Amino acid sequence: CALSYCWGGPQPSQTIIMNFRNGRKKVAIFSYPRAITDAIVVASRFKIPYLWVHSMCFVQDDAEDIRRELAYMPKIYKHSILTLVASVDISSCERFLRPR
């Protein structure tokens, strides 16, 4: 599963060199931004064990990592079982799942 959303400014939670090593540990779901939490909920309901999120999967302050990983983005979205696109203008702090 992959998530695409509008960044809309600074991200409260992203992978940077300083927290990269800690990111491999288990983290409580409520500590992630709301859009990412919504994506986790959707992926789990579809029994998809993995979620790819740009801000969490790229080391955002490492130009070499960004260059290398950007080359993979088309393949990531192409081969994703499910791609979630938050098409409304939201940041990662806002939910995209809403009651109808």
pLDDT tens profile 35-65: 888 898 999 999 999 999 887 787 777 889 8
Nearest-5° angle of CA 78, CA 83, CA 85? 125
Residue 97 lies in a domain: no
% of the chain beyond a pLDDT of 70: 69
> Please, which residues have CB within 8 angstroms of residue 47's CB and are 6 or more apart in sequence?
none
Domain holding 31, by residue range, is 2-85
How many structural domains does the chain have?
Answer: 1
What's the pTM?
0.71
Whether 18 has a pLDDT exceeding 80, the answer reads no
Residue 21 lies in a domain: yes
Q: Is 66 exposed, middle or buried (0-12, 13-18, 19+ CB in 10 A)?
A: middle
Mark residue 8 as left, alpha or beta (left: phi above 0; alpha: psi -120 to 50; beta: remaining): left
Whether 87 has a pLDDT exceeding 90, the answer reads no
Residue 48 lies in a domain: yes
Q: Which DSSP category does 3 fall into?
A: E
